[in-house]
Chain A
């Protein structure tokens, strides 16, 4: 189809689709007047039933924990897919030894990085990791949780890249333990679910002691699952960074030849 016909077909369709969407939107309850029972029922129960002050994470890791298991595995399969798609071909396998000692080159024509930026960004690395761990481990208490904390931890090595400390960046990002934790973190979530089966309750029931509301070690499995998810998400995003990095490096090497 020529671009013009394609656009015409799309515009006719878009008018219809938009009309359906807006017709549905007009008949929805007015905005800012949430009525539905689900949210209110859980908001009133979560603190008492699970000793969790963060209702959103209580829903994510407990009431609807099975959904989150599925979502975590979507993340896992997407990252496995990235690894599958960007895998080196057999011809490139023998170059892997060269690769492991190669660093990404900073841009040749960039202005020299100021020392302030280098020092400050490198110092932020440790703080970022700590902050990420804090967010992931306090999922049941304050906004945050495993997914958010994991992303923060995964972003920390990028700070090293920005600070042009490429050696440390490469060593962190290409370490084989990252790949191990990605799979292991995902399986840990399911294994915590199996714990409940062993205790005779349905899958993913919160069978650990609930502790005192407001404590770090409270809410049973919620905090534990949150931490495991944090590990998995951090490993997954670092792995994605590594795969793309390796792709760029191999492209640069091919261009040099």
Chain B
């Protein structure tokens, strides 16, 4: 088996070398080298995923094997979920780089190294077994992200968005580091498995404080309400391929970081408490808040950003349920959501390229000529509602199979976010109804990212979106994927097998078939979601043509205004909410945990 160091070290080396000689290389060579590196990463990570779902394998850097119980070096723990996330990261970066071929023009000399570094950081983050290494890759992901976010320097808005992103995420990283320091003082170790073994059975204030800091730090990255304010700002101003990576994977990796630390270090301490319900509460609230804000938006990218907040909230809720079904559903949902969201962002990039604007009222009816793009957009919207045929539906069914009350939140969030996307689709690609309210958010004028529009959309701009949406549909019919997700989630929850693998006694895992839930009920609920989303979308689009009694209540727009003004763009506001969120999380943790 090839060394897993390759899918982190190779992109880093290539990025540095491209940066060193960039003045000498023509643009097409830089593109080609970057695309080949991403493809190489995808192949290596994919091979490792196929290997890791059968047996967790550990790789010690520098040949530093553990001495007794003391892990002296840094290890990569290649389990199913980690390798799967690394493959997904490489795939999305590959598609984003193909999209960038015709899309990114200025600043090209620095763009490709940063994208490759970002990919390497995401891959390393997914598989590392050392908590400080997790922090290092978190910082690396963030720093490359800040630079890529602020790339379009010809207007002031990207810098404001990148600044807010940078300030909030750096605070988050240092909260994680504070938590790591607290754990280090208690255990004297930095390896996740070792710390889990040392802290087992201990749930005093120190462990809880560390849990609060580390988890809230990662939840800032996961854009959980009230830590989410940076996300719409960052998405509104980043170039499209960068948005794909942010929404598709970076945000979910924040949740994954919290999950990984919880499942290894804290599981032994807090297993007897009801602490996981905090995740349910925060996740559910994020899902509903995000969905509400999503529907109120008229700027395509901010709309999609809020839908990411919502869907990541649903994933956090699924994690909080802490059962095999819920985690399997989470893994499937994560992959499917990454593909659908990326497809939608690629499509919005095509729209921005073609029509030079991304505001819903300004785009009204202009998309009628773009049939295939419109189709991809509509399919994406249906995907967000977890319609039948999209693997999001599979994921959602698994999550709620033993927690039917959560179905209500899934229905609401999925319907609202799907309805928002469908509404935009109806207005832009079909020209139905009216232009919609023009409020301040619709007036944000985003400069197009390419220098001139072309009548014909190049294949490299269109294919990534199509592949993503197609992939999310194809995933539904791939049974092995669901079985692999089931086995990986069993492994993920099982700390004992993790610790055994780290200390050299890996136990192979037989692949079990995932249980299939009540198909009829699942199909009925999925159809309900689709019907709900389509009706809300049609109602929003056609409401002025309806008799007065059936119209959209006018007080809704008015009451949404103060809520939407919370998203103020002021970094001080965001940090104030962040602090309050940490305090609330901490209070809940201490109440439930002690």
Contacts and interface: CB of A to CB of B under 8 A. Distances in A.
Q: Within 8 Å by CB, do A and B touch in the complex? A: yes
Interface of A: 1, 3, 6-7, 9-10, 12-17, 19-21, 23-29, 35-39, 41-42, 45, 62-67, 69-71, 73-74, 76-78, 80-81, 83-85, 87, 89-90, 176, 179-187, 190-191, 193-194, 196-197, 201-206
A191 B268 CA distance: 40
B225 interface: no
B209 A24 contact: yes
A176 B204 CA distance: 56
Given A6-B573, A16-B587, A186-B16, A70 B204 contact: no
B150 to A, nearest CB: 6
Contacts of B107: 84, 87
B189 A36 contact: yes
Contacts of A206: 62
Contacts of B581: 13
B582 interface: yes
B188 interface: yes
A190 B583 contact: no
Given A20-B586, A76-B16, A85-B147, 13 more contacts: A10-B575, A14-B579, A21-B178, A66-B5, A67-B132, A80-B147, A90-B106, A180-B21, A186-B16, A187-B17, A194-B9, A202-B62, A203-B5
B334 interface: no
Contact of A17 (B205, B577, B579): B579
A187 B113 CA distance: 12
30 contacts: A1-B566, A10-B579, A13-B577, A15-B583, A16-B586, A20-B582, A23-B205, A23-B206, A37-B189, A63-B64, A63-B72, A66-B74, A69-B9, A70-B133, A70-B136, A73-B16, A77-B140, A78-B143, A84-B110, A84-B111, A84-B147, A183-B16, A183-B17, A183-B20, A183-B22, A184-B20, A187-B16, A187-B20, A190-B13, A203-B3
Interface string B398-442: 000000000000000000000000000000000000000000000
Contacts of A65: 61-62
A202 to B, nearest CB: 5
A70 B137 contact: yes
Identify which of B154, B186, B579, B584 gathers the most chain A CB atoms within 10 Å of its CB: B579
A98 to B, nearest CB: 19
A228 B239 CA distance: 34
Interface string B8-23: 0100110111111111
A1 B576 CA distance: 10
Nearest to A9: B576
B271 interface: no
A17 B586 contact: yes
A36 B188 contact: yes
Question: What is the size category of the interface that chain B forms with chain A?
Answer: 35 or more
Interface of B: 3, 5, 9, 12-13, 15-23, 59-64, 67, 70, 72-74, 106-107, 110-111, 113-114, 117, 120-121, 124, 130, 132-133, 136-137, 139-140, 143-144, 146-147, 150-151, 153-154, 159, 178, 182, 184-190, 204-206, 208-210, 212-213, 566, 568, 570, 572-573, 575-584, 586-587, 590
Contact of A37 (B70, B186, B212): B70
Contacts, number: 253
A84 B582 CA distance: 34
B517 to A, nearest CB: 39
B16 A205 contact: no
Contacts of B583: 12-17, 19-20
A66 B581 CA distance: 34
Given A73-B117, A89-B154, A183-B18, A20 B133 contact: no
B580 A10 contact: yes
A203 B61 contact: yes
A21 B211 CA distance: 11
Nearest to B13: A190
Contacts of A193: 5, 9
Contacts of A69: 9, 12
A53 B107 CA distance: 45
A20 B72 CA distance: 30
Q: Count chain B CB atoms within 10 A of each CB in A14, A45, A185 and give the residue with the most.
A: A14
A140 to B, nearest CB: 15
A81 B132 CA distance: 24
Nearest to A12: B580
Contacts of B572: 3, 6, 10
Contact of A85 (B15, B22, B150): B150
A202 B3 contact: yes
Nearest to B572: A6
A20 B590 contact: yes
A190 B12 contact: yes
B486 to A, nearest CB: 31
B62 A62 contact: yes
Given A183-B21, A190-B9, A17 B582 contact: yes
Contacts of B110: 80-81, 83-84, 87
